[in-house]
Amino acid sequence: MVSADRVSKSFGSNQVLKSITLTVKAGEVLCIVGPSGSGKSTFLRCINHLERVDAGRLSVEGQLVGYREKAGKLYELKPKEAAFQRRDIGMVFQRFNLFPHLTALENISQAPMRVKGLSKARATARANELLERVGLGDKGDHYPAHLSGGQQQRVAIARALAMDPKLMLFDEPTSALDPELVGEVLDVMQELAKSGMTMIVVTHEMGFAREVADALVFMDGGVVVESGNPREVLANPQHARTQAFLAKVL
Amino acid sequence: MTSRAQRGAAKPDPDSPSPDQEGEAIEAIPLRHPWRFLIAVVLIILVAVFLLDAAQREDYGWSDVGKYIFDKRISQAALVTLQLTVYSMVLAIVLGLLLAIMRLSPNPVVKSVAWLYLWIFRGTPVYVQLVFWGIVSLIYPVFTIGIPFMAPWISVPNGIFTNLFLTAVIGLALNEAAYMSEIVRAGLLSVDDGQEEASRALAMSWGQTMRYIVVPQSMRIIIPPTGNEVISMLKTTSLVAAIPLSIDLYGVSRGISAVTFTPVPLLIVASIWYLLFTSILMVGQHFIEKRFARGTGQHKPGRRRSRMIAMPGAGTGIGEPPGNDFGGKH
C-alpha cells in the first residue's frame, strides 16, 4: 500500500528525513514512535504530499506521490492531480483542525459534496452514519467549540472517513487531549483497525501500539532506528537509542 | 492531623462561621478625584463661552443654517453622497477581496499584479487619482479593440469617464480597493494554517479551500474595520470636487455659498449632515463589532442564527446568505 524507498527531506539546511525505507501492506497498522523532532510527522505529511519529498521514491498503491514518472523522468503533478491522489488518503491532525464555522455534520459532509459532487442529502446521510460510527450520533448539529477535545477528534476521524479513504494517517491524534479523553479516541481507532483499514499512526501511546499495531517503527534524528513487531520492540528493544526513549515513556 | 482534617471536612465545626453567613460589608469612603471635577468645570465654562460667542457672531449665520439645513438641494446632495459611498464601497469590497486572494495566491504572476496595484493606488493621493480619472476621457476619447497600431475593428466612444458620477464611483472604488485588500488579507491570514491544511488533506482545491473554509472564517476579522472604511469613505466622497463632480453634499453646499456669499453657514449645514450619517454608521458599527466579537462564546446550540453568531469565525457576514458559503450550491 505504502512504500518508501530511501526518502529524504530537508527544510533549508536542516535534513529532517534521512533515507527512510519502509513498507506498509494493505490492512496493516503501522505505529511510528520517537522523540519530538525526529521527523515522524514530516514523514506522515509527505505521504499525502502536504510536504514535498527531496530524494528517494515514495509511493501509495504503486503511484508515486506528487510526481508522474515518464520515460525515466519525473514530472511534477498539477495541483488538481495532487488533490486527486489525496482523495484516497485520510488524515487526522494533532490539533483536530475542524472547521469552526461549520457544524460537526457539515464538517463531515463538506469534502464529499465539494470534491466528489455528492448531493447534500446523500452527503448528510453518510455523515450521520459516520457520526454514529464514532459514537456521536446526537452531536451532528453541534459546532466544534461546543464539543470536548475527544469528541472533536472523533468528528475529525469521521470527516476523514467520509472520503472513503484506503489509507488513514494519524498525526499524534491524542497528544492534544486531556488524559481522560484519550481512551475514547483510541477506541474509535482500534475499531477502525479491526475493520481492516490501513493505518499509519504517529503516536506516543505505547499501549495502543502494543495492542493494535502490526508493525512499529522507532524514528530518531530523521532515521528509522529500529522496526519490527511492536510487542517485541517494546519489550526488548535492540538499539541503545530505542532503549533510552522507551525507558522514559513506558 | 489527617483524621481531624477529614472529620472537619465531613462535618463542619459548629463554632466556625457557616458558609452562608457573609463577612461585614465594606463601607469605606471612596477615593475622591478633585482634579477631574475641576478640569471638567473649566472645560464646560470654555465651551459655554465659545457657544455664547458663536451664537452672537454674524459670520456663523445661524438663520441661514436653519434655512438651508432642510433645503431640497442639500438633501438631494446628501442622497448623492450616500449613493457615492455605497456604490464605491461595494465595488471596493469586491475588488479588495479579489486583490487579497490574488496576493495570497501561489501563482507569482497573479501575486505581482496585485502587489503592483496596491503599490500604485495606495502610494498616490486619492485627490490626485480623482483628478486623473476626471481627465481620462480627454486622454482616451474612444475605446478601440483590434491589433495595436493598426486600424481598429471596433471603436466605442468613452462613455464611462464622460459620466462624472460613474467616474467618481470608479475613482473612489479603485483607491479604496487597495485599502480593502489589505483588510481582507489580514482577515485571511488570521485563519489558522491548520484549516487550509485540513482542507487540502480532504482533497479540496485551493479555490474551494478559500471559498468554503478560509473566507467565511475571516469575516469576523474583516467586518469591523470595513465598517470603519465605510465611515471614512462617506467623508472622502467630498473629494470628488477634484473630478470635478459637484452634485454631492459638499459640492452643492459650496455651490450655494458661491451665490449667497455665506460660506460658513453652508459649511455648518454640510457638517451637520456628514455628522448625522457618520453617527448612524457608528451606531451600526458598534452593533456589528459586538456581534462579531462574541467569538469563542460557550453558547449552547439553540436556534441556527444565534449559533452562527456565537461561533468563532461564523460566516454570516454582511451580504452573505445564511448558510456556510457565498451562495454556492447546497
What mean pLDDT is predicted for residues A168-195? Answer: 94
Report the pLDDT value the prediction gives residue B144, as an integer from 0 to 100.
80
What mean pLDDT is predicted for residues B7-12? Answer: 46
Distance from CA of B259 to the nearest CA of A (A): 57
Report the pLDDT value the prediction gives residue B152, as an integer from 0 to 100.
78
Amino acid letter at A8?
A: S
Q: pLDDT confidence of B6, banded at 50, 70, 90?
A: very low
pLDDT (tens digit per residue) in A82-127: 899 999 999 999 999 999 999 999 999 999 999 999 999 999 999 9
Residue B297 has pLDDT above 80, yes or no: no
Residue B8 has pLDDT above 80, yes or no: no
Instruction: Give the chain B residue whose CA is nearest to the CA of A94.
Output: B194
Chain A residues within 8 A of B330 when measuring between CB atoms: 120
Chain B residues within 8 A of A87 when measuring between CB atoms: 203
What span, in angstroms and rounded, lies between the C-alpha atoms of A183 and A206?
Answer: 13
Higher pLDDT, B81 or B15: B81
Report the pLDDT value the prediction gives residue B20, as an integer from 0 to 100.
65
Chain A residues within 8 A of B207 when measuring between CB atoms: none
What span, in angstroms and rounded, lies between the C-alpha atoms of B319 and B330?
Answer: 18
**Per-residue b or e along A157-168, where b marks 16 or more CB atoms closer than 10 Å to that residue's CB:** bbbbbbbebebb
The pTM score is 0.75
What mean pLDDT is predicted for residues A201-221? Answer: 93
For A65, phi then psi, to 5°, come to: -85, 120
CB contact under 8 A, A79 and B212: no
Least confident of A124-133, A187-196, B57-66, B314-323: B314-323
Report the pLDDT value the prediction gives residue B249, as an integer from 0 to 100.
94
Q: pLDDT confidence of B1, banded at 50, 70, 90?
A: very low
Residue B37 has pLDDT above 80, yes or no: yes
Chain A interface disruption, residue of B196, B202, B205, B298, most A CBs within 10 A: B202
Report the pLDDT value the prediction gives residue B122, as an integer from 0 to 100.
95
Q: Name the β-bridge partners of B248.
A: none
Residues recorded for chain B: 330
The CA dihedral of B300, B303, B304, B305, to the nearest 10 degrees, is -100
Mean per-residue pLDDT over chain B, rounded: 83
In percent, the amount of chain B with pLDDT more than 70 equals 82
Nearest in space to A195 (alpha carbons), one of A138, A109, A112, A133: A133
Whole-Å CA distances, B245 to A52, A215, B158, B240: 56, 77, 18, 5
Higher pLDDT, B148 or A2: A2
Q: Name the β-bridge partners of A217.
A: A32, A227
CA atoms within 13 A on the CB side of B183: 23
pLDDT (tens digit per residue) in B229-268: 999 999 999 999 999 999 999 999 999 999 999 899 999 9
What mean pLDDT is predicted for residues A199-225? Answer: 94
Residue B290 has pLDDT above 90, yes or no: no
What mean pLDDT is predicted for residues A69-85? Answer: 88
pLDDT (tens digit per residue) in B188-229: 999 999 999 999 999 999 889 999 999 889 988 898 899 999
Higher pLDDT, B317 or B29: B29
Residue B149 has pLDDT above 90, yes or no: no
Q: pLDDT confidence of B320, banded at 50, 70, 90?
A: very low
Report the pLDDT value the prediction gives residue B22, as an integer from 0 to 100.
78
Residues recorded for chain A: 250
Report the pLDDT value the prediction gives residue B16, as an integer from 0 to 100.
55
Question: Cell for B152?
Answer: 481598429
Q: Name the β-bridge partners of A99.
A: none
Q: pLDDT confidence of B13, banded at 50, 70, 90?
A: low
What span, in angstroms and rounded, lies between the C-alpha atoms of A49 and A82?
Answer: 7
Chain B residues within 8 A of A100 when measuring between CB atoms: 217, 311-313
What span, in angstroms and rounded, lies between the C-alpha atoms of A150 and A178?
Answer: 8
Nearest in space to A164 (alpha carbons), one of A103, A124, A111: A111
Q: Which alpha helices (H) appear in B61-214, and where do they start and end? A: 62-68, 72-104, 108-123, 126-139, 164-190, 193-201, 206-208
Q: pLDDT confidence of B18, banded at 50, 70, 90?
A: low
Whole-Å CA distances, A199 to A189, A218, A243, B33, B220: 9, 16, 25, 69, 37
Neighbour tally for A135: CB within 10 Å = 16
Q: Name the β-bridge partners of A167.
A: A89, A198
Least confident of A101-105, A189-193, B120-124, B299-303: B299-303
What span, in angstroms and rounded, lies between the C-alpha atoms of B237 and B77?
Answer: 11
Degrees (nearest 5) of the Cα angle A135, B217, A188? 15
Q: Name the β-bridge partners of B145.
A: B154
The secondary structure of chain A as a DSSP string is -EEEEEEEEEETTEEEEEEEEEEE-TT-EEEEE--TTSSHHHHHHHHTTSS---EEEEEETTEESSEEEETTEEEEPPHHHHHHHHTTEEEE-TT----TTS-HHHHHHHHHHHTT---HHHHHHHHHHHHHHTT-TT-TT--GGGS-HHHHHHHHHHHHHTT--SEEEEESTTTTS-HHHHHHHHHHHHHHHHTT-EEEEE-S-HHHHHHH-SEEEEEETTEEEEEE-HHHHHHS--SHHHHHHHHHH-
Q: pLDDT confidence of B303, banded at 50, 70, 90?
A: very low
Contacts of A208 (CB under 8 A, 6+ apart): A31, A186, A189, A190, A201
In the three-class reduction of DSSP (H, G, I as helix; E, B as strand; rest coil), residue B200 is classed as: helix
Task: State whether residue B107 sits within 8 Å of chain A by CB.
Answer: no
Report the pLDDT value the prediction gives residue B14, as an integer from 0 to 100.
53
